[in-house]
A and B are shown apart, each in its own frame.
Chain A
Amino acid sequence: MTPSGMSLRYTGAWLLRLGMGGLLVVAGLLKLRDPSAFAVEISNYQLLPSLAAYPAAILPATELVLGLALVVAPAPWRRAATVGVAVLFLFFTVAVTSAYARGINIACGCFGGGGDAIGPLTLVRNLALLLGISGLWVWDAPLRPAAPATPAQPS
């Protein structure tokens, strides 16, 4: 890769990390303000609603930790956080798609209590986040030196 290509990739990865990490930190903090309300938002999805208290207690802080790790952690920990965030976004997308497909008219709860009703825009946003985190996985890959040229095999 050329130096300018490296610089572009580094800047892109840094911006993605900052954007995704910042978004997760904000979302986690907003949800942490009222765990009870967040539990209600989760139960509204009608996916095992009686168990909603557990993700309501755990998810916001997990988002916070993963978001912070994306922004400030050393490279190996960032890679792990990237996978964790991807799994989280995939889970959110499945939940939103499921609720939308079942015609359940509820708030997204993506940033704590209330918020916009889930709809096509929520789905597009979630898919964009999935795309972003996939891009981060590719762009933020550790730099590897070029493999030494192997001598041509005599025919």
Chain B
Amino acid sequence: MNDDPEFEPAPTRGPPGPTAARIGGDGLPSRLAVLIAAGAALGLLINLAHPRAVRFASFAPPRVCSAGDEHTGAATPPAVELLSLAEVASLCGDPHAMVADARSAARFAEGHVAGAVHLPCASSRIAANAALDRLVGKETLVVYGDSTEEAMPVAEELRRRGDRPGLRVAVLAGGFPAWSQAGLACSSGPCADCGVHR
């Protein structure tokens, strides 16, 4: 008799089958079910007592581009400014200003405002956080898209996340089409120095 707990006695009927066949043997499925059930039960219990518990009934996935909805009430003054082409053009070369492109990566690569960083609406928190890191020392952030409406939620989100009272967050009126049609400085290609870009 072998007392080693690692030792598995030889099968009494025939040689051991192939690995795939043995996965279902030796009570493995029931043990797996027990482990998963234990994990699930423990998780639910911990969640029940957790101060940062996730609520099943009220959980709603965040909509990154609409995170500023709560700030758009009629009594609240607009926190994001709307800047004209001339005003944005005057910020070119200003080391305290940053321009962010909220369009898709493909549209960005086709052409964008010279010096702009790529920050699409769908980029979620990573790109937004990376952009916020780049905002250190900046006083003005201009966001643009294919239209004013496309850029506004991204600008709102950045203003909310940035939480810097002195930061001026603005949107380019008319978006990139207006900028391009006015013949203002553009460049093309992917965002070379963006930490996260897709």
Q: Chain A: residues with CB nearer than 8 A to chain B?
A: 32-40, 43-44, 49-50, 52-54, 56-66, 69, 74-77, 79-81, 83-84, 103-107, 114, 117, 137-138, 141-145, 147
C-alpha gap A64/B196 in the complex (Å): 31
Stretch from B51-59, B74-82, B162-170 forming part of the interface with A: B51-59
Note all chain B residues with C-beta closer than 8 A to A69: 35
CB distance A79 to B28 under 8 Å? yes
Contact B10 A105 (CB under 8 A): no
Decide if the interface of chain A is mainly helix, strand, loop or mixed.
helix
- The reply to whether A143 and B124 contact each other, CB–CB distance below 8 Å, is no
**Bound form: Cα–Cα A63–B38 in Å:** 11
CB closest chain-A residue, reference B45: A61
Q: Which B residues from 39 to 78 make CB contacts under 8 A with A?
A: 39-40, 42-44, 46-47, 50, 52-56, 59-62
Give 3 nearest A-B pairs by CB, closest first: A62-B39, A61-B43, A142-B8
Contact B59 A105 (CB under 8 A): no
Given contacts A56-B54, A62-B40, contact A143 B7 (CB under 8 A): yes
In the bound assembly, the distance between CA atoms of A33 and B53 in angstroms comes to: 9
Chain A CB within 10 Å, residue with most, of B47, B56, B120, B196: B47
The residues of A that contact B47 with a CB separation of less than 8 Å are 35, 57
Task: State A81–B33 Cα separation when bound (angstroms).
Answer: 10
Known: A53-B56, A107-B125. A43 touches B62 (CB 8 A): yes
Q: Which residue of B lies closest to A147 (CB)?
A: B15
B6 contacts A by Cβ under 8 Å: yes
List of B residues within 8 angstroms of A52 by Cβ? 59, 61
Q: A64-B42, A117-B196 are in contact. Are A106 and B62 (CB under 8 A)?
A: no
Check: B31 CB closer than 8 A to any chain A CB: yes
Residue interface mask B102-130, A partner, CB < 8 A = 1: 00010000000000000010111111010
**Cβ contacts under 8 Å, B196 to chain A:** 105, 117
**Smallest Cβ-Cβ distance to A35: which chain B residue:** B54
Task: Choose one: B15, B16, B56, B126; the contact of A105 (CB below 8 Å).
Answer: B126
| B64, closest chain A residue (CB) | A44
Task: Given A58-B40, A66-B39, A107-B124, decide whether A35 and B53 contact each other with a Cβ distance below 8 A.
Answer: yes
Q: Are B23 and A76 in contact (CB under 8 A)?
A: no
**Interface residues of B, count at CB 8 A:** 50
Query: Which one, B7, B35, B126, B198, contacts A65 given CB within 8 A?
Result: B35
Taking Cβ atoms with an 8 Å cutoff, the residues of B that contact A are 4-10, 15-16, 19, 23, 26-29, 31-32, 34-36, 38-40, 42-44, 46-47, 50, 52-56, 59-62, 105, 120, 122-127, 129, 196-198
Contacts A117-B196, A142-B6 given; does A77 touch B35 at CB 8 Å? yes
Q: Are A39 and B59 in contact (CB under 8 A)?
A: yes
CB-CB < 8 A to B9: which residues of A? 145
Q: B5 to A61, Cβ gap below 8 A? A: no
CB-CB under 8 A for A61 and B50, given A76-B31, A79-B28, A144-B8:
no
Contacts of A65 in B (CB 8 A): 35, 38-39, 42
**Nearest-CB distance from B113 to chain A (Å)?**
20
CA of A75 to CA of B56 in the docked complex: distance in angstroms?
A: 36
A103 with B32: CB separation less than 8 A = no
